[in-house]
Structure 1
Amino acid sequence: MPQELFIFEDNRFINFYPITLLRPAYFLRPGIRYLYETMANSFAEYNTNLFCRKKLCGLVSEKTACPVNKTVFPNTEGTVLLNGRLRPEPNLFAALHKADANVLILSKGELVGAKIFGALSLEEIGFLIEMNFDGLINKLKDRAEVMEIEIGFYNYLWDLVDDIDRAVGDDVSYLKKSQDISESFIIGSGKDISMAFPGVVFINGENILISRDARILPGVVLNGSDGPIYIDSEVFVEPHTYLIGPVYVGPKSRLVGGKITGCSIGPVCRIGGEVEESIIQGYSNKYHAGFLGHAYVGEWVNFGAMTTNSDLRNDYKNVRASVHGEIIDTGRLKVGSFIGDFTKTAIGTLLNTGINIGIACNILGNGLVAEKEIPSFTWYSSGRKHEYKIPKALETMEKSMVRRGIKLSQPLKDNLQEIFRNRLNHESNSEQD
Structure 2
Amino acid sequence: MTTTDDTEAARPSSGRRVTPGRGRVVIGAVAVAVVVASALTVTAWQNDGGKPDTGGGAAHTATAVVTRSDLSNAQTLDGNLGYGRATMVKGGKSGLLTWLPATGATVRRGRPLYRVDNVPVPLFYGGTPLYRTLEARGTTGPDVRTVADNLRALGYDIGVQPAVGTWVTPRHVTPTATASPPSPTSGASPSPTTLAAPSTTPVRVKRGDGVLTAGLIAAIKRWQTAAGMPATGVLGVGDVLVLSGPVRVEGVQAQLADPADGTLMTVTSTAKSVTVQVDPGEAGSMKRGDTVTVSLPDGSTAPGTIASIGATVRTTDASNGDDSSGQPRLTVGIDLRDTAAVRGLNSTPVQVQFTSETRKGVLTVPIGALTALREGGYAVQLPGGRLVAVRTGMFSKGVVEISGDGISAGTRVVTTS
TM-score normalised per structure 1? 0.20
Between 1 and 2, higher relative CO (CA 8 Å, sep ≥ 6) is seen in 2
Structure index of larger Rg: 2
Return the structure number with greater strand share. 2
Greater share of helix residues, 1 or 2? 1
